[in-house]
Amino acid sequence: MPLQIPDPVLGAWAKGFPARAAGLRLSEVADAGLRLSDLPTPVLTVHEAALAHNEETVFGWARDLGVHLAPHGKTTMAPAMWQRLLDAGAWGISIATPWQAEVAIAAGVHTVLIANAVTDAGAAVRLGELLAADHDLRILCWADSVATVDILAAALADASRPLDVLVELGGAHGRTGARTIDEGERIAAAISAAPGLRLAGVTGYEGPFGPDRSADSVAAVDAYLETIVALHQKLVYPDGIRPVLSAGGSSFPDRAAAVLSSQRDTADVVLRSGAFQIHDDGFYSRMSPFGPLTGTAPLRSAMHAWSRVLSQPEGGLALLDAGRRDVPFDIDLPTPQTVAGEITALNDQHAFLHLAAGASVVVGDVVRLGLSHPCTAFDKWRVVAVIDDPDADDPRVIGAVATCF
């Protein structure tokens, strides 16, 4: 399914691209003969071979288990990256807000899962308009309260096609989601009673219940996922719909698959893991099950930042030109990969690199940085260069993708 891929003309607005690229369309970058050394720092890059490896690994694993993937498109907000996921066999694309849904639908995505409640009545009306305009389009969203259902029902009372709504089940100390199965049943009843809505399944997010991969965390995650199954088994769905059971962030997709797969005969099990496509050198490298736990190859980080030494004001300290406007810092700070040391702090446009004993850099050197959490890496870049090999002396730029943040 070909999407509408943004193909802007590059100019000074395209951070990380040189003046010689001005006037090129994004689709022309692959043939422009650029090298990493041509790109002004700081710059974010993605690695083509790592992307392909991660996609093949996770989609192959999902096919073997008979579960579906609707990867979270909010990770990159890049239709070119969504196209790769759909080409690999994605059931649909997950997003987090009605605006993101509009971006995905405008790009041509035909199954959009809004992994969130929609409580903006105007946004709900717009979803109804989009459904009416395209009978091949399917939009699913969540509700974790009768109050949410009331907003949707009022906005879509006269809709020509119903909006699919999943009951979101949470748990104590979790994020959103109804806290009990009984409450989930009341929400389902309210959805079923609303003419403009259709009860379409049960969903939730297991991430808050497992801060690590310890046995206690896995047991807590499994116990939570079993409540999704229990609620699903209590519900009566409308004729003609195959319900959806959805969970599976990027930390525990293996547990979501293991627990929810017991219902494959009665529902589509849809995992929303999104970070696997990019992976990282931080949080997900610690949390992802891919590797020995799933009997697959481990995933590889497909993103790096490259940052230049600006200053060496004192022994053992170097200041780099990448800061909070360029690299993620919400979970872990970047990690230097081409020189021994540690990034200890970030300012808006500076990174503090404390060098290990015996390590050295000089002003003007470029340092490769490993990053943590792709969701907060891509939102800082409007265009991202694709390179062939981050370990090469001077990697070739073989393409670029545009983001829609």
Taking only the tens place, the pLDDT of each residue in 170-213 is 998 889 999 999 999 999 999 999 999 999 999 999 999 988 99
Q: What is the mean pLDDT of residues 350-378?
A: 97
User: Among 169, 187, 142, 146, which Cα is nearest to 227's?
Assistant: 169
pTM of the shown model: 0.96
Q: Which tokens go with 265?
A: 């005969």
| pLDDT greater than 70 at residue 8 | yes
Dist. CA 109–CA 89, nearest whole Å:
13
| pLDDT greater than 90 at residue 378 | yes
Which phi and psi (to 5°) does residue 206 adopt? -90, -10
The answer to whether residues 341 and 365 touch, using CB atoms and an 8 Å cutoff, is: no
Q: Outline where 261-302 has alpha helix (H).
A: 283-287
Q: Outline where 69-139 has alpha helix (H).
A: 79-87, 98-107, 121-133
Dist. CA 188–CA 246, nearest whole Å:
16
Confidence of residue 56 (pLDDT cuts 50, 70, 90): very high
User: Quick one: pLDDT at residue 390?
Assistant: 97
User: Quick one: pLDDT at residue 1?
Assistant: 67
Sorted by where each starts, the structural domains of the chain and their CATH numbers stand as 9-48+299-402 (2.40.37.20), 110-272 (3.20.20.10)
